[in-house]
Chains A and B, each alone.
Chain A
Amino acid sequence: MSKKRYKPLLKYVYKRVFQMIPLLLLISFVVFIMLSFAPGDPALLLIGPIGATPEKINEVRESLGLNKPLLVRYFDFLKNLLFHGDLGRSFQSKRPVTQEIARTLPVSIRLALNAMIISTFFAIILGVMSAIKQYSFLDNITKIIVLTGVSMPIFWLGLVMIVIFSVYLGLFPSSGWGDWRHMFLPSVTLAAYPLAMLARLTRSTMLEVIRKDYIRTARSKGSSEFSVIYKHALRNALIPVITMTGLQFGLLISGSILTETVFAIPGIGRLTVQAIYIRDYPIIQGTILVSAAIFAVVNLLVDISYTFLDPRVKY
C-alpha cells in the first residue's frame, strides 16, 4: 500500500483501538450494575433449598464477596482485571473465569467460522447465479431460500434438523461436540440466516452492477463473459457483501447462544445462558465483556478492510 494511505490508516486504527478501551470499561461497569440489581441470590442457588439457613446463606455470601459494597466490589474486579488479567472465579465451579472462557470460546469461534464459510460460499454462488439468470428456475429457488431463511427462528430450525437428520435418518449426532459429524448440523443451522441475507444482498448488488456502463464497455471490448462477470462485476458487487459478512459476525455470536443450547455444544453462548440460570455473576460478567470485545474488534477489521476493497475510501 502506498505510504500516503498507510499513515492515516494507522492513525485511524490507533484512534479506534483507543476508543475501545473506555467503551469496554463502560460495558463492564454497566453489566456489573445491572447484575447487582438482578433478582435471585447466587448463594441461595448454590446451597440449594435444603440447609439454606440464614447463617449458611450469609456464610456463602461472605465467601463469594457478595456482602461488600457495590463500588468496592467493582473496583476490586477492575483492579484484578487490569493488573492481573483476572476475571474472577466462577461462583459455581470455583475455576477462574478466564479458564472457563478459554475452554468455551474456541468452540464458539469454530462454530461461527464454519457457519460464516458455509453461508458466504453458498450465498455468493446463489446470488451471482440468480442475478445472471434472472427469472430463471434457479433465481426463483434462490428467492424462496432467502425468504424461508430469514423467516425461520434459529432454535426451531436446529430442532427440525435434529428431528430429520438425527432422529429419522440417523446420520448425525443430535448433540455434543467432537468430530466433524458433531459440527455439521449446528454449523448449517447457524449459517441459514446469514446465507439468506447474503444471497439476497449479492443478488441485488450483482443486478445493479451488471447494468452499469463499465460492464457494457468490458463486453464490447470483447472480453469473455466469464471475465466480465468475475473480474469486473463480481469484484465491485462483493464490496457490500464482504462488509455484511463482517457484520454478520455479530449475528453469529448472538446466534451461537441458541444453537449451542439446542445442540448442547460447550461454547461461550451456552456458558452464558447457564451462568444466568444460576446467577454465576463472574462468568456472566466475563463472557459479556469478552464477546463485546470480540464484536468491537471484528467491526474494526471490517472498517479497515474497506480501505483495501474500495480505493475511493480514505481515512
Chain B
Amino acid sequence: MFWKRFKRDRAAVIGLGILVFIICLSILGPIFAPYDPAEQSLAKRRQLPNWENIFGRDAFGRDIFSRILFGARITLIAGLSVVISAMIIGTILGTFSGYWGGLVDILIMRAMDFILAFPTFFLAILIVAMLGPSLFNAIIAVTITTIPQYARVVRGATLSLKGLLYIEAAKAMGASDIRIIIEHIIPNLIGPIIVLASVGLGGAVIMVAALGFLGMGAQPPTAEWGLMLSEGRSYITSNPHMTMIPGIFLVIFVLGSNLVGDGLRDVLDPRLK
C-alpha cells in the first residue's frame, strides 16, 4: 500500500533503481569481475580506460573496474552495518529512556549529549585512532556518532506513545514493560526509524569512505572506494581517472539513497516535508 504512493514520486523511483543497480553490482559483480582486484601488474600501471580495462588501471596496475565491483559490496555492507546497528542500539536506548524515565533517562540522554558535544568527524577519527585503522573500526566509529540521532527520535516518539490509553490498558492487564515496549511501542516507531535510516545511509557511506580516504578506514589492498580515491590522488594531474571514477560511484550511490530516503519520508511522514 505504501508502494503505490512511493511509485508516484518519480525521483524516488529513480533513486530506488540506482540502489538496486548498486546492490546487483555488489552481489553479482565480484563473480563476474574480469580481474582479481588485488592482482598487480607493474607494467600496466596507471593505464587509462581502454578496451581491455574498462576503467583503466590504478597506481599498482590493478584493474579499476574489478575494484569498483568489489568496492560496491564493501561500501554497501559498511553503510548498511552502520545504519542497522545505530538503529537497533538507538531504538533500545531511546525506548528505555522514554519509557522508564528517571535515572535511566537522565543517564542515557547525558551520554547522547556527550557524543553530540564533539564535532562529528573529529569524534569519528578519535575513535578510529583509539581502535586502530581498519574498515571494521571505521564502521564502529561512524555507528557511535550516529546513535544519538536515533535515540533522541525514538525517545521522543516513546514519550508521546507512553500516555496512550491502550498502553494503560495493557499495563492494567499485567503486561510486563518489555512486552509493552516490543508489542506496542516499537511497531509505531517503525515509520520515523525507517526514514532516519534511509536518509542516513548516504551520510554513513560518505563518512566511512572519508575515513578510508584519510587512511583511517579500510586498509590497502582492500578495494574500498574512499581508499581508492586517496590512492589515486597523487596522480590527479596526469591520470585523473584513478580518483574520479571511484568518486563518481560514491556520488551515484549516495544520490540514489538520498532520493529513496526523501521518497520514503514523503510517504511515511508527510509532516516532515
Contacts and interface: CB of A to CB of B under 8 A. Distances in A.
Task: Decide whether A and B assemble into one complex.
Answer: yes
Interface of A: 23, 26-27, 30-31, 34-35, 37-40, 147-148, 150-156, 159-160, 162-163, 167, 204, 250-251, 253-255, 257-258, 261, 272-273, 276-277, 284, 287-288, 291-292, 295-296
Interface of A is mostly: helix
Given A151-B251, A160-B244, A162-B236, A258 B130 contact: no
B213 A258 contact: yes
Interface of B: 114, 117-122, 125-127, 129-130, 132, 202, 206, 209-210, 213-216, 226, 229, 233, 236-237, 240, 243-244, 247, 250-251, 254-255, 258-259, 273
Contact of A295 (B117, B209, B259): B117
Contacts of B213: 155, 258
Given A34-B127, A35-B129, A152-B251, A27 B117 contact: yes
Given A250-B120, A296-B117, A276 B216 contact: yes
Contacts of A34: 126-127, 129-130
Q: Which 10 A-B pairs have the closest CB atoms?
A: A254-B121, A156-B247, A151-B255, A34-B130, A151-B254, A253-B119, A254-B119, A39-B132, A153-B206, A276-B129
19 contacts: A31-B126, A34-B130, A156-B251, A159-B229, A159-B243, A160-B244, A162-B236, A167-B240, A251-B120, A258-B121, A258-B213, A272-B122, A284-B129, A287-B122, A288-B118, A288-B126, A291-B122, A292-B118, A295-B118
A257 B259 contact: no
B254 A153 contact: yes
A261 B230 CA distance: 11
Given A35-B129, A38-B130, A254-B120, A147 B255 contact: yes
B253 to A, nearest CB: 9
Contacts of B244: 159-160, 163
User: For the complex, would chain B's binding face be called helix, strand, loop or mixed by DSSP majority?
Assistant: helix
A298 B214 CA distance: 27
B202 A151 contact: yes
A292 B119 contact: yes
A253 B124 CA distance: 13
Contacts of A159: 229, 233, 236, 243-244, 247
A39 B120 CA distance: 22
Given A39-B132, A204-B273, A254-B121, 19 more contacts: A27-B117, A38-B130, A147-B258, A151-B255, A152-B251, A155-B210, A156-B243, A156-B250, A156-B251, A159-B236, A159-B244, A251-B120, A257-B125, A261-B214, A272-B122, A277-B215, A291-B119, A292-B117, A292-B119
A23 B117 CA distance: 8
A289 to B, nearest CB: 10
Contacts of B237: 167
A272 B216 CA distance: 13
Most buried by B among A251, A273, A287: A273
A284 B129 CA distance: 10
A170 to B, nearest CB: 11
A154 B226 CA distance: 11
A237 to B, nearest CB: 16
A184 to B, nearest CB: 18
Contacts of A31: 126
